[in-house]
Amino acid sequence: MTLKNDRFLRALRREPVDCTPVWLMRQAGRYLPEYRATRAQAGSFMGLATNPELACEVTLQPLRRYALDAAILFSDILTVPDAMGLGLYFADGEGPKFERPVRTPADIARLAVPDMGSSLRYVMDAVSLIRRELDGAVPLIGFSGSPWTLACYMVEGGGSKDFARIKSMALNEPAALHRLLEVTTDAVIAYLAAQRAAGAQALQVFDTWGGVLAPHVYREFSLRYLQRIAAELPRGDGADRTPLILFGKGNAPYLEDLAATGSEGVGVDWTVSLGEARRRTGGRVALQGNLDPATLYASPEGIRTEVKRALDDYASANGGSRNGHVFNLGHGMSPDMNPEHVRVLVDAVHEFSREG
């Protein structure tokens, strides 16, 4: 099926675009009153994520409001460890938790790649339904957590401030942690391949917690597995290739390494300028990012100024061309953000990038 709007995929192929494409991490979520209403109907976050009709509805909600250039599957990165038997639950106001965290080599030895056709069937059903409902309006992005980021939640049992348990495992039982990361990488590759088979037209890996590591530890426990994903994930050839984006919070020190993995895109946060990111990656990958999400707390004029600055920063390092840039925030949106400010941001990206 031909897409009505393919500028997101064109940008990832570094082809010319009429204006810079934009989507926002966590574009579906609690800042939207219609999301809160659907979530109330579902009863819980997992009730929403495991119901393909409702997951499809909340995926489409931000696209009805804003001129976004891509949809992202409504789901969560923790569906994979949940399907590996860890028992995901959301305690009210406390974020995600696992009933059975992975703490010992024996726990790790019991883990296996989950069956995509049964325990994660609901995700693939949501992908196919969203594709059908989008009807070619914009491409659909599928996603996974990175092996390191998933392992953080699996070992810590939930969110963490200091990552004491998984860092202890890296120091004292590195072989066991590598076994955990190997099986999780196999699961991530199977999960992304299944989303692609179900209809996802681009794939993003979220390495939310790679940035908490010292450089040599990052290279050993996070980067190595991102490299495996980029090398081994089947994604077609030529114009039909399904692009892979490696996003990482705090990945600025590793942009050269990430650009060399073979992924089509690299997503960056706001601690590096897009100009510097473009110079250091040398045009080998498309770049995605990178406004500080807090920019949405600025006035409409303040938001427009920052959008223009980011667009021009990229273009000035890219020989004056906007090709190869996907506009985004540097991390996800927060529940207290003003929906009207999102409109200002999205429209400003298109307006300023169309002007040349």
Binding-site positions for substrate read: 26-30, 76, 153, 208, 331
Minimal distance, residue 356 CB to ligand CP3, in Å = 30
Which of 35, 153, 191, 218 is an active site residue? 153
Helical segments of the chain, H only: 7-12, 33-42, 45-49, 52-65, 79-81, 105-109, 121-134, 147-156, 164-172, 174-198, 215-218, 224-232, 255-259, 274-281, 300-317, 339-354
CB atoms within 10 A of CB 262: 15
Q: Which of 81, 96, 293, 330 binds ligand CP3 (CB under 6 A)?
A: 96
Establish if 143 lies at the interface with ligand CP3 (CB under 6 A).
yes
The interface with ligand CP3 within residues 24-63 (CB under 6 A) comprises 25-30, 39, 45
Q: Which of 66, 98, 191, 206 binds ligand CP3 (CB under 6 A)?
A: 206
- Return the number of the residue (46 or 348) whose C-beta is nearest ligand CP3: 46
Contact by Cβ (8 Å): 303, 344: yes
Minimal distance, residue 49 CB to ligand CP3, in Å = 8
Catalytic-residue membership of 153: yes
The interface with ligand CP3 within residues 150-189 (CB under 6 A) comprises 159
Number of residues that make up the chain = 356
Catalytic-residue membership of 92: no
- Return the number of the residue (29 or 322) whose C-beta is nearest ligand CP3: 29
Catalytic-residue membership of 26: yes
The interface with ligand CP3 within residues 274-303 (CB under 6 A) comprises none
Catalytic-residue membership of 297: no
d(CA 141, CA 12) in angstroms, rounded, equals: 12
d(CA 84, CA 233) in angstroms, rounded, equals: 20
Contact by Cβ (8 Å): 38, 54: yes
The interface with ligand CP3 within residues 296-355 (CB under 6 A) comprises 332
Q: Which of 13-21, 76-84, 269-277, 292-300 is the region at the interface with ligand CP3 (rule: CB under 6 A)?
A: 76-84
Distance of CA 23 to the CA centre of its chain: 11
d(CA 165, CA 294) in angstroms, rounded, equals: 30
